[in-house]
Each structure stands twice: as structure tokens, then as C-alpha cells.
Amino acid sequence: LELVEMEVRELLSSYDFPGDDTPIITGSAKLALEGDTSEIGGPSIDKLMEALDSYIPEPERAIDGAFLMPIEDVFSISGRGTVVTGRVERGIVKVGEEVAIVG
């Protein structure tokens, strides 16, 4: 396992990522789903989430201004209707609020 971690760090560094400073969490999602409470089971998922929260900064987004979300994909789901996906660039929208589709 240590050899794999070392190789991953070297690979990250070769692509100009901070390989030595990047947290690497070892664990098993399968064991966690099965309820395993050993170090590589459920606790490793908690440790992973803590590392993600502390290492990856929350992106800043302009919340004042009109809601803008470029549409990336459109799906027709039976029983639900048309569903669009995208990334919110600015503004806020609430559940049930009407939005205008432009373009």
C-alpha cells in the first residue's frame, strides 16, 4: 500500500499537482457499505469526507444578480418530464420558483 501511495504522489507531481501535500486516504467503500467499522471501513469514509472538506476550497459564486445556469444536458424522464442539468454561474433559485429558459 505504501508503494502505491508513493507512485500516486509521484504521478501527481509529474502533472504539476502538489503530490507531497495532497492527502491520500486508504479505505474500502465496499467494506464501509457492508458496515465494517475497522480502520479501512466506515471510518475511512469519514476521514475522506473530512479531507475533502478541508483540502478542496468551496468555490465562490456571485449570489447577487440574476440566476444564470448554462444548460449542459437535457433528459426526458417518464413520470417526471424534462430535466436539465448544468452548473449555476450566478444567482440563487429556490424550489418551486419559475425560471426563464433563454436561447
Same domain, 76 and 91: yes
- pLDDT category at 100 given cuts 50, 70, 90 is confident
Q: What is the pLDDT of residue 101?
A: 85
Q: What pLDDT band is residue 102 in, cutting at 50, 70 and 90?
A: confident
- For residue 61, pLDDT beyond 90: no
The percentage of the chain sitting over the pLDDT mark of 90, rounded to a whole number, equals 72
Burial string for 23-36 (b: 16+ CB within 10 Å, else e) reads: eeeebeeebbeeeb
CATH number of the domain that residue 96 is part of: 2.40.30.10
Quote the pTM value.
Answer: 0.57
Q: How far apart are CA 64 and CA 45, in angstroms?
A: 35
Whether 91 and 65 map to the same domain: the answer is: yes
CA distance 88 to 97: 15
Residues 44 and 79 in one domain: no
Residue type, 13: S
Do 27 and 66 have their domain in common?
A: no
Judge contact between 80 and 57, C-beta under 8 A: no
pLDDT category at 4 given cuts 50, 70, 90 is very high
pLDDT of residue 64: 87
Q: Number of folded domains in the chain? A: 2
74 plus 31 within the same structural domain: no
Q: Report the alpha-carbon distance of residue 83 to residue 69 in Å, rounded.
A: 13
Q: What does the pLDDT average to over 32-50? A: 95
Q: State mean pLDDT over 63-86.
A: 91
Range of the domain at 10: 2-55
